[in-house]
Structure 1
């Protein structure tokens, strides 16, 4: 396997070459300028402005609370911070279920905000929307398996465990490729099913909770950094104990303020006495 160099922003065609070259692809979610700046200087291949941002940043219980204005704002921030990365933005809940015209308007806002591609969950009922977007020159990433926008009907559980379910997801993946998608995300499906789909498709398959036999992986940034304590799905690995590190920094700052050791003289601005001319008092002015 020869590694393809990343000298400039990736393209969908280059990602497919990664797959052909068996070069694994890394993707992380990102929602704000500060983390985007760090990601831009990292080796990570792709950034996903996920609708999960309304959960990790705003505290909503699920992704159905996202709207196109929220997604556009986060996309613009990430695009400012990571101009060298290929950025995919999620189409929010129901934005692709209100007809082709509405979907095009939403996709247009996300592209103008700085996205290089959009991601759409599911396929049933909006095949024409996906086809129209791809034919309009908008790169589309599909999303099958556990689709978080369908939480009220599917819940958070592994999909494709039965033969019929697996066959349906496999056919949906083929259909997304036929509709012009350059990639799909497979979430929470058995690893053998994900392997079969990755081998079946010519386009890139990114997994999250889909095992190691796909073309790449995606994780939520805050999960990967270990910043979330209340929930840790089986597929999440903490590459940093972010919660404890940040909490410790908060406490160190608090203790420094309380003890008076912050700020020091070196961290304070001082008056240059030699260049300071004392102004006359009112009494001196009257005397003069």
Structure 2
């Protein structure tokens, strides 16, 4: 084998086997350049339905369609060699029945080459998860705050405080028992996240949860400071590229208006220079 050969992308069973080991690293991606940047650093890359808000300016994830997820999944796949790709199932594509979920999950995998799909919900989705897994569609689950349910949850609130804790625990156990290979815990209190991580046999992936989870995920645009509409408490800005980009755009505009750009080095001569005799 060549010394420069690409590392083989993990499969869902490999992610599952990382339970209790080195923390799993994940980010969201929506485009080929994004995927290329994170490929060497992530165990899996999520094509999140957050694309609706981050790239398409939608007020929530509810307007995201299957066509959008397929398009962005295909783009991300072109940029990955060593990370596994997981694609979100959008709102309305799996809740009606387990048969609907299989049709759409299988379509996402076939059209994008994804290694797995992710869907939201706990106890109420356990039967659907089991149905998909038995038919060859690996599932990453998502409990706690489920953004596709914000209208029934009453907004983007922390889930699992006080009397609500047992519901979140039951959700996590139900999806694990149904065959999900990992579960995302979103906006779940730290202590409860640690309890769930200890009590379920599949890796927990935290986002606004606990450092004790088996892995972490963030939206790339959030952690790079590119998405600036709002900043969730659980987001750490590892860069402020949005500010840098705005400053660069302002400088470009100023240089155009003062005719500093383009300069001599950016334009082409009318006549090629003569060669020496």
TM-score by length of 1: 0.87
CA displacement at 1:223 relative to structure 2: 0.9
Deviations 1:225-261 (A, max 9, x none): 1123332121111000121111111122222322333
Structure 1: how far apart are the matches of 2:160 and 2:230? 23
Q: Where does residue 16 of structure 1 map in the other structure?
A: 16
Q: Which has the larger radius of gyration?
A: 1
Structure 2: how far apart are the matches of 1:140 and 1:57? 25
CA displacement at 1:166 relative to structure 2: 1.2
Deviations 1:141-196 (A, max 9, x none): 00000000001010210111023x21121122111111110000000011111001
Give the conservation status (yes or no) of the 8 Å contact 2:123–2:175.
no
Q: Where does residue 106 of structure 1 map in the other structure?
A: 104
CA displacement at 1:101 relative to structure 2: 2.7
CA displacement at 1:273 relative to structure 2: 4.9
Secondary structure in 2 matching 1:19: coil
Give the conservation status (yes or no) of the 8 Å contact 1:96–1:126.
no
Structure 2: how far apart are the matches of 1:114 and 1:252? 41
CA displacement at 1:272 relative to structure 2: 2.0
Secondary structure in 1 matching 2:18: helix
Structure 2: how far apart are the matches of 1:111 and 1:174? 25
Q: After the TM superposition, which of the residue ranges 214-223 and 227-236 deviates more from structure 2?
A: 227-236
CA displacement at 1:114 relative to structure 2: 2.5
Q: After the TM superposition, which of the residue ranges 97-106 and 190-199 deviates more from structure 2?
A: 97-106
Return 5+ residue gaps in structure 1 as ranges: 1-5, 276-288
Mapped pair 1:56 → 2:54:
yes
| Alpha-carbon spacing, 1:33–1:89, altered in 2? closer, same or farther (3 Å) | same
Structure 2: how far apart are the matches of 1:253 and 1:46? 37
Alignment: residue pair count: 267
Q: Where does residue 272 of structure 1 map in the other structure?
A: 272
Alignment of 1:163-242 (within 5 A): 163=163, 165-242=164-241
Deviations 1:24-81 (A, max 9, x none): 11111111122122222x4122211111100011111111111111111111111112
Structure 2: how far apart are the matches of 1:39 and 1:26? 10
Structure 1: how far apart are the matches of 2:14 and 2:103? 27
Give the conservation status (yes or no) of the 8 Å contact 2:27–2:42.
yes
Q: Where does residue 279 of structure 1 map in the other structure?
A: none
Q: After the TM superposition, which of the residue ranges 259-268 and 78-87 deviates more from structure 2?
A: 259-268
TM-score by length of 2: 0.90
Give the conservation status (yes or no) of the 8 Å contact 1:122–1:143.
yes
Give the conservation status (yes or no) of the 8 Å contact 1:33–1:78.
yes
CA displacement at 1:117 relative to structure 2: 0.7
Structure 2: how far apart are the matches of 1:210 and 1:69? 31
Structure 2: how far apart are the matches of 1:255 and 1:241? 22
CA displacement at 1:125 relative to structure 2: 3.4
Mapped pair 1:92 → 2:90:
yes
Secondary structure in 1 matching 2:229: coil
Secondary structure in 1 matching 2:62: helix
Root-mean-square deviation (CA, aligned residues, Å) is 1.8
Secondary structure in 2 matching 1:65: coil
Structure 1: how far apart are the matches of 2:60 and 2:126? 25
